[in-house]
Amino acid sequence: QVQLVESGGGLVQAGGSLRLSCAASGVIFSINAMGWYRQAPGKQRELVAGIISGGSTNYADPVKGRFTISRDNGKHTVYLQMNSLKPEDTAVYYCNADLSSILGRRIYWGQGTQVTVSP
C-alpha cells in the first residue's frame, strides 16, 4: 500500500518561513511527478508547485520567487520551502504524487497539513 505522509505545517508570522515535507512509502517502482496543492477555506484546491522526474519545476504565480520545491529521489520525498509567507498563504497544504507501484500507475494524495500565517 502506498501512502504519502506530510509534515512541517504550523503557525508562523507574516514574513516567516516554513518547510513542508512529504514522504511516499510502500513498494514504489518510480515517481513521475510530485507536487503541492493548497486549499483555503471556501476556495477550491489549487496547485502551488510541481516537480517532474527530470527535475523541471513549475509554480503558481502567487508563490513564484518565495516558494521552492525540491525532491530527494532516493527517499521518495518532496519538499516545499516557503519563505516570505503572507496571510493569504494560509491553507491546508496537500502533497500529490503520480507514481508507479505494484498497483500500477496512480495518483496519490497526502492527508494535508495546516499552514497558518498570522499578520
For residue 18 the three cell numbers come to 516554513
User: What average pLDDT does the segment 41-63 reach?
Assistant: 96
The one-letter amino acid code at 27 reads: V
What does the chain look like in DSSP terms, one character per residue? --EEEEE--EEEETT--EEEEEEEESSEEEEEEEEEEEE-TTS--EEEEEEETTS-EEE-GGGTTTEEEEEEGGGTEEEEEE-S--GGG-EEEEEEEEEEETTEEEEEE---EEEEEE-
Tens digit of pLDDT for each residue in 100-117? 999 999 999 999 999 999
Report residue 23's pLDDT band, with 50, 70 and 90 as the boundaries.
very high
Looking at every residue in the chain, the average pLDDT score rounds to 96
What whole-number percentage of the chain has pLDDT above 70?
A: 100
Report residue 93's pLDDT band, with 50, 70 and 90 as the boundaries.
very high
pLDDT recorded at residue 54: 87
pLDDT recorded at residue 41: 92
d(CA 11, CA 19): 12
Tens digit of pLDDT for each residue in 2-16? 999 999 999 999 999
